[in-house]
Every structure is written in C-alpha cells, then in structure tokens.
Amino acid sequence: MPIPKWKIKGIVDDHDTCGCCGRRGLKRTVAMMPLDADGNEDGTAEDVVYYGTSCAATALSWTQAKVTDTARTAQAERDQRDNWARRIISIYAPVEFAPVHDKARVYYGRNQHQRDTGVKATEKVAKLLTEARATLADTTTGPARPSRIEDFRRYVVIFNRDGGISLVRRVPEEEAERQEQAAAAQRRAEKIRGRLLVVAALDAEAARDVAYADNLTREWNTKAWQATHA
Ligand SMILES: [Zn+2]
C-alpha cells in the first residue's frame, strides 16, 4: 500500500470553503496535515488544509464514509486530549512556582508508583505543563483554548456521604447570585449529609479532579485563584 499523503486531524465547522476545489458553504470540512515520504507529519497547524469530504476522499483514495468516520474519531481524540490538558493544568499550574518540596508532594501524591524511581517531580511537572499547554494552543481544528491560571473559573463541588461527587456547578460572577448559590449548596450538602468545596479549574471536569485531590494540591489551587483574582 502506498503511504498516504495526508493525515486527518479532525472535522471542523469554522472553515466552510474546500481548500481543494474552492466549493463554498460547506457545513464542515476535514482538517488534513501533509505527511512526508516516510508518513511523518510534515508541518504545523499553518500547513493544515481543510477539504470537503468528497475532495478529501479523492486525495486519500478512500470512501467518503471512511473519511467522515476517521475525521470524527480524530476529533473525539483531540477533545479527550484537551480534557486531559485542562486537568493537568488545573492540578499542576498552581504549584509550578511552589517550593520544590510542595511540588514533589503534589506530584508523587498522584504518581505513587514513581516515588522511589528517582523521577524528578520538578522536571515531570514542567514537562506535563508544556505538553498540556501545547495541546490547548494547537489550532489545527479550531481556535486555541484557554489554558492559563487567569482562565480558571470557580466551581462549587458537593460530595455525598460516601465521598463521591454529587454535583459540580460553576460559581456565578455576580455577588448576589453567588451568595444565593452558596446558600443553596450548603442546604443541599446538609440534606445529603455531605460536604462542600470550592475549587478553581479550567472546566467542570477538571474541577472534579481538583476536588478529589489532596489538601496540599487544593491549598495551592486556592492560592493561585486568589493571586490572579484578588
Ligand atoms: Zn473540494
């Protein structure tokens, strides 16, 4: 089999013109990265082309159904990587400039099997954050996604009696709404005899991770929120 000239990166709805034949008004287009002769990605987001599914099918000698399936799978994988990146940043960005001792406790607390392997927490945290930020900055299939501590939002998290999360809600910006929500959350927590936490994170999924994290991770999370939103 010949090596394909393109790799499908996803399916997008913000490019409505086929980069191959110029047809306009397409509902969505397929993002394709050029490959070199060995089948390695040959370029950056700037080199990605956006083709309609029929032109993409022709370029790859595939059926349109295979193009669509592959594009949807690639897009779902990217969304998962984005979710991973938001969790990594929500957990580790607040300890990025923390004392090494705290950083190590946060890292090894989540990676206990590495504790005695000589893995340096500082390097690991730096590497994870670099990768996570690059993931969210990748514009291949859409605009860059928020990735800074300044982009964190606060979430109220209610735990049930068994320690599982019963509810996650974004904390409103407006003071009166915020007080109303806090009171309602308190009532609910009491009713189910659970407990309540407020954490900062890039999204609600990442907020769950922060809420489940150890006290030290959450202390730094609170500090980071206060430092950027004081
Ligand atoms: Zn076309």
pLDDT, mean of residues 21-47: 92
Q: In whole angstroms, give the CA distance from residue 85 to residue 136.
A: 7
Q: What's the confidence (pLDDT) of residue 1?
A: 59
Task: Name the pLDDT band for 39 (thresholds 50, 70, 90).
Answer: confident
In a domain, 1, yes or no: no
- The answer to whether residues 175 and 218 belong to one domain is yes
- The answer to whether residues 133 and 154 belong to one domain is no
Q: β-strands 195-201, 165-170: how paired?
A: unpaired
Residue 29: phi, psi to the nearest 5? -130, 160
Percent of the chain with pLDDT over 70: 99
If one counts the domains in the chain, the total is 3
In a domain, 173, yes or no: yes
- The answer to whether residues 168 and 210 belong to one domain is yes
In a domain, 183, yes or no: yes
User: Side by side, which strands form the sheet with 29-34?
Assistant: 6-12, 29-34, 49-51
Tell me the three state secondary structure of residue 92: helix
- The answer to whether residues 170 and 199 belong to one domain is yes
In a domain, 68, yes or no: no
Say how many Å lie between the CA of residue 50 and the centre of ligand 1: 9
Task: Name the pLDDT band for 31 (thresholds 50, 70, 90).
Answer: very high
User: Side by side, which strands form the sheet with 165-170?
Assistant: 165-170, 153-159, 195-201
Average pLDDT taken over every residue of the chain: 94
- The answer to whether residues 181 and 203 belong to one domain is yes
The token pair at 124 is 């690991």
- The answer to whether residues 118 and 154 belong to one domain is no
- Residue 112 pLDDT more than 80? yes
Say how many Å lie between the CA of residue 18 and the centre of ligand 1: 5
Task: Name the pLDDT band for 2 (thresholds 50, 70, 90).
Answer: low
In a domain, 14, yes or no: yes
- Residue 43 pLDDT more than 70? yes
- The answer to whether residues 49 and 85 belong to one domain is no
For 205, the domain range is 149-229
Digit-coded pLDDT (tens) for 56-105: 999 999 999 999 999 999 999 999 999 999 999 999 999 999 999 999 99
In a domain, 67, yes or no: no
- The answer to whether residues 155 and 218 belong to one domain is yes
In a domain, 71, yes or no: no
Q: What's the confidence (pLDDT) of residue 119?
A: 81
Residue 110: phi, psi to the nearest 5? -95, -15
Say how many Å lie between the CA of residue 122 and the centre of ligand 1: 48
Q: What's the confidence (pLDDT) of residue 48?
A: 94
- The answer to whether residues 131 and 155 belong to one domain is no
Say how many Å lie between the CA of residue 29 and the centre of ligand 1: 9
Q: In whole angstroms, give the CA distance from residue 49 to residue 95.
A: 38
Neighbours of ion ligand 1 (CB under 5 A): 18, 20-21, 23, 52, 55
- Residue 15 pLDDT more than 70? yes
What's the Cα-to-Cα distance from 227 to each of 88, 104, 147, 148, rounded to whole Å? 19, 22, 16, 13
Beta bridge partners of 7: 33
- Report the run of H or E that residue 159 belongs to, with start and end: strand 153-159
- The answer to whether residues 153 and 128 belong to one domain is no
In a domain, 193, yes or no: yes
Digit-coded pLDDT (tens) for 130-160: 999 999 999 988 889 999 999 999 999 999 9
Q: What's the confidence (pLDDT) of residue 22?
A: 97
